[in-house]
Structure 1
Amino acid sequence: MKMIHRIPVSEFPNFKYEDQDVINAFLWLRSFLSDEDWNQRKEAIENKLSYDFRISNPFSEPLTEGTLLLDNNDQIGWYLYLVHTLLYEPHKYEYFQGARIIPIFKRLGMNLNEVKNIEGIQKKVRDLLKKRRAEADAILFEILTALLWVRNGWQVKFLEEGKGGKSPDILASKNNEELQVECKRQRKTADYTYKETEKRLKMVSYLREELLKHNILLDVEFHVELISLPDTYLKDLLLNKIQEIKKAGLIVSNNEVTIYASFIDINRISKYLEKNFVKNNSPQLCDLIAQKAVDYSGFTSGFSGNFFRVGEGEANNLYIAEIANAFGVNCRSMAPEAVTAKARDTKTQIMGAIKQFNTESEGVIHVGMETYDGQEVEMERLKKTSKTLESINPSETNLRYIYYHFFQAYTRPDQIWIFDETVDKVSSLKQAVFPLENSFLVVDGDDDSLMDISHWNRELP
């Protein structure tokens, strides 16, 4: 096997991420761990990220081989690692997953004194880092929600879970008014989306060698469910067409799929690589191959070339020296059945939250979810959510307000992170006066344009 060249970190561009808010939030959370504990968890993560890179045959493993997967058993450890690498070892930083986490640390750091003064925060963070390390998304959402109420002038405390019967997450009080607050965080992605992604990767795997040979870039829009098609669907449809492609344009249009093909500019990529460090599995690489900004969640690519590592070890430090051939496949699935399946309702979260409220005061629910499936899916989700709300009889519950927080994170070659947030709010009261003037958890919310349009209806950044 050909050895991969290695350069010292001193030859890596002198990049330093100096956002003091992010630094302060990281150091505060990190202070709850001993050096020994942190080093052990960091080492375990790097062992997981390290893999024996096979340079001899780029198609000897499934496309998912080597994909950077967070450790679900230590989700908060992984999130701390992402921030640590950005701050102190940027050559190891993972752009795509980091873009989801850095903005949260930014918000915590911006209001760190307020966070530290929330009653019960010490136990909440200790539980996050020790007992409930696999529940980082849910607990960070609770902390952000508590902070939101503090930023709006309320006194807030975390309530002990599982003691004294029903218990919401947070108790908020202001001017002799007391509200119970329950937090519900949806999983990042619907199970259907995972199945669809797996099917897409299998489809591409049967065709990738031919695509690579001819440096082909495909834009594919499916009109039926991907999971209803055979794994060899794209191969059966395109294998004999690829070598006949002479110019960019439409190559297939039928009831199942529409496909456009174009050619990747390898010369342009080579000139860029001569002057720039490009990391494997990075937004820079995706944009070079796609030749435009793309929705990375639906983009599959591959290439043959030469590599080098930066610094010691094998943990996420692989960079690209040369690309000889490349391919890319950008997929969208707009089948009505797929849109419906991906548009997850919040009924389970809402009904579960209602059960946590006692009868002593009115209740508020905050629901957090990430929006990676596009405008059509979010419109369908809104229909489902509205139907759920209509089914709740306000006379049978003390639920009065629901805040829906929709998040989406991006990373681009020229921006470490971009974070969008949209907030919808509903009430069971006919003439509701909502208790929060500012309802954005992560973004500042000072820009009036944030209220004008949902972020999934805007162009990709």
Structure 2
Amino acid sequence: MLIAASKKDSGASLPQAESLRLGARLLPPSTIYVLPMRKNPNWTAKRSGHDWRDDELMLAVAWLKSFVPRVQMERRIDAAKERLLEARKQMREGLQVPFFDPSDVAAWYIFQAETFAYDRAYWTPEGAMRIAPYLTRIGKELPLLLSVKNVEERAARIMLAERRQPDGGIFELLVGLAYRRGGWTDVEFVQEKRGLERTPDLHVSRPRSHWAVECKRLAVSSYATKENQRGIVLAEKVHALLLAQYRSSVVEVVYKVELEDVPDQYLADRVQAAMERASPEPVEDEIAAIRVRPVNWELTRSVLREDFVYYGSTRMIELLAGSYAHDANHSMAAKWRPWEDRPEYADAVYQASVVTWRSASVAATRQKARHFKKTLVDANGQLPGDRPGVVHIGIETYAGARVDAFRHVRNSLQSRYFDPGKSRLRWVYGNYFVPEATTRQDESWAFTETMVPYRVGSHRTKWPLPDHMLVSPEGKNFSGMHWDGRDFH
């Protein structure tokens, strides 16, 4: 099992440039847990050197754009830009709306990658962290990727037919590239035979060895998405309560039950009771443990006297709360003054509330840590019986160490005892990705990748792509997993 961490060091960051922090610990059910502050958050961004370009990222963007007629591509990017500007306008009015059109995610990716690589005029931290690492790797090794047979056809499908869900296709490009990098002389995207027979995504060959490769990219679990949405609903009532009293507070919550079982008014009522007690000590009942403390105005105002901070970003939350926990969920609201030159940045904050929550519910952990057996069954059905097969499963995760460790155990068991039937499936690679909108000075994004080989059944067949990384630079990885509790920054 290998792990690697990478980051984009801009040399001179934008005002909200951020950093990687990993090594989350397991959370006892009734503990308010605050990560120790390992760096001083009282920093401001440099005022010069913002004219850098990311040529590798630009190369990947130009290549992907080439598969769409120019006028059509310009129209799609303009639509993505207008959607973002409208969302930012509503954000300044206190509304939270999606930044992009879900019917054309591919255009949003291109728009965000292009603006990040060139001038950062329209970038969002959350957009950059999910897009730039993947496309940068493609741009860095584009000549090698172009040696994969049928890769142009696969890229065209990403930009056209699969514009709603481009992640799977991008994952396949990275897998194909990894096999070429790993010494496989012939790597080919297999032509689909819709309605006739199921086929693998790739055939890879080298002297005396031929494998079939199937790729599956898992989305964030629907349970995790719904849980986060429920957490936001509960937090919004706290924001409204604090705004009505014009108070500024940080609320830290550890839920002991599933969030769907938490009454709508529960958190706001408990926060009100805690404020009336006027004590920083946590309060606890059968539903949650809660602590209410003041916003760190000294830190926030110290930075805003010299700097501008992207509103709603991890950096903004770090300043208000005094630290930022990457393994938790957050919601913030504020009365603030936009910077005239870049209105998505805050020039001043007058009132603010931050709600940070984690779930210690065993039932919730099980739901978020679902194993990949169903996906494995589907992937196995696309593998032939005339050659050994391998399945790559890409998992982008924000669930934290507790969930990821449990999911790994379940995936290990499912792979070990999986019956491939007529196929010759031998290995499953779990490619776990953890992108982060970071909070360290002079970094724009950070990315952690863990690769785990899962043996299927009992055999002596060697794994076809040892010690590989799909996104992170190889050679800088080490043995271990991102959820094992170590700090490797």
Contact between 1:303 and 1:326, CA under 8 Å: does it hold in 2? yes
Task: State the secondary structure of the residue aligned to 2:204.
Answer: strand
1:194 pairs with one of 202, 225, 232: 225
CA distance in 2, matches of 1:338, 1:83: 34
Matches for 1:120-199 after TM superposition, within 5 Å? 120-154=150-184, 155-162=186-193, 165-187=197-219, 189-199=220-230
Deviations 1:198-232 (A, max 9, x none): 21111112221333422111111111111111111
Q: CA deviation at 1:378?
A: 1.5
Matches for 1:90-109 after TM superposition, within 5 Å? 90-109=120-139
**Residue 108 of structure 1 aligns to which amino acid in structure 2?**
I
Percent identity, aligned pairs only, is: 23
Contact between 1:368 and 1:404, CA under 8 Å: does it hold in 2? yes
Contact between 1:210 and 1:242, CA under 8 Å: does it hold in 2? no
CA distance in 1, matches of 2:91, 2:380: 54
Higher helix share: 1
Task: State the secondary structure of the residue aligned to 1:92.
Answer: coil
Q: CA deviation at 1:401?
A: 1.2
Contact between 1:173 and 1:179, CA under 8 Å: does it hold in 2? yes
Q: CA deviation at 1:446?
A: 1.1
Task: State the secondary structure of the residue aligned to 1:21.
Answer: helix
Root-mean-square deviation (CA, aligned residues, Å) is: 2.3
Task: Determine the structure 2 residue equivalent to 1:286.
Answer: 317
More moved, 358-367 vs 252-261: 252-261
CA distance in 2, matches of 1:347, 1:309: 52
Task: State the secondary structure of the residue aligned to 1:99.
Answer: helix
Report how many aligned residue pairs link the two structures: 435
Q: Give unpaired runs (5+ residues) of structure 1.
A: 1-11, 59-64, 312-316
In structure 2, the CA distance between the partners of 1:174 and 1:57, relative to structure 1 (3 Å rule), is closer
Q: CA deviation at 1:109?
A: 1.6
Contact between 1:91 and 1:310, CA under 8 Å: does it hold in 2? no
Task: State the secondary structure of the residue aligned to 1:183.
Answer: strand
CA distance in 2, matches of 1:254, 1:432: 53
Task: Determine the structure 2 residue equivalent to 1:114.
Answer: 144
1:430 pairs with one of 459, 468, 471: 459
**Residue 454 of structure 1 aligns to which amino acid in structure 2?**
H
Q: Which structure exhibits the higher relative contact order, with contacts defined as CA atoms closer than 8 Å and separated by 6 or more residues?
A: 2
CA distance in 2, matches of 1:17, 1:94: 17
CA distance in 2, matches of 1:131, 1:38: 14
Contact between 1:289 and 1:301, CA under 8 Å: does it hold in 2? no
Q: CA deviation at 1:23?
A: 2.2
Task: State the secondary structure of the residue aligned to 2:160.
Answer: helix
CA distance in 2, matches of 1:185, 1:128: 14
Task: Determine the structure 1 residue equivalent to 2:258.
Answer: 225
CA distance in 2, matches of 1:204, 1:443: 35
In structure 2, the CA distance between the partners of 1:284 and 1:397, relative to structure 1 (3 Å rule), is same
Q: Which runs of 4+ in 1 moved over 4 A?
A: 54-58
Contact between 1:362 and 1:398, CA under 8 Å: does it hold in 2? yes
1:453 pairs with one of 462, 472, 481: 481
CA distance in 2, matches of 1:216, 1:376: 27
In structure 2, the CA distance between the partners of 1:362 and 1:137, relative to structure 1 (3 Å rule), is same
Task: State the secondary structure of the residue aligned to 2:210.
Answer: strand
Q: CA deviation at 1:152?
A: 0.7
Task: State the secondary structure of the residue aligned to 1:131.
Answer: coil
In structure 2, the CA distance between the partners of 1:230 and 1:13, relative to structure 1 (3 Å rule), is farther
Matches for 1:436-447 after TM superposition, within 5 Å? 436-447=465-476
Q: CA deviation at 1:148?
A: 0.6
CA distance in 1, matches of 2:477, 2:200: 32
1:85 matched to 2:120? The reply is no
In structure 2, the CA distance between the partners of 1:67 and 1:93, relative to structure 1 (3 Å rule), is same
Contact between 2:251 and 2:291, CA under 8 Å: does it hold in 1? yes
**Residue 354 of structure 2 aligns to which amino acid in structure 1?**
G
CA distance in 2, matches of 1:56, 1:45: 19
In structure 2, the CA distance between the partners of 1:456 and 1:83, relative to structure 1 (3 Å rule), is farther
Q: CA deviation at 1:458?
A: 3.7
Task: Determine the structure 2 residue equivalent to 1:7.
Answer: none
1:405 matched to 2:394? The reply is no
**Residue 287 of structure 1 aligns to which amino acid in structure 2?**
E
More moved, 360-369 vs 249-258: 249-258
Task: State the secondary structure of the residue aligned to 2:357.
Answer: strand
1:329 matched to 2:355? The reply is yes
Task: Determine the structure 1 residue equivalent to 2:68.
Answer: 33
Contact between 2:448 and 2:482, CA under 8 Å: does it hold in 1? no
Q: Give unpaired runs (5+ residues) of structure 2.
A: 1-46
2:84 pairs with one of 49, 52, 55: 49
Deviations 1:232-290 (A, max 9, x none): 111222223324425xx323122321112221122432231221121223232121122
CA distance in 1, matches of 2:301, 2:114: 31
Matches for 1:65-76 after TM superposition, within 5 Å? 65-76=95-106
Contact between 1:366 and 1:403, CA under 8 Å: does it hold in 2? yes
Task: Determine the structure 2 residue equivalent to 1:6.
Answer: none
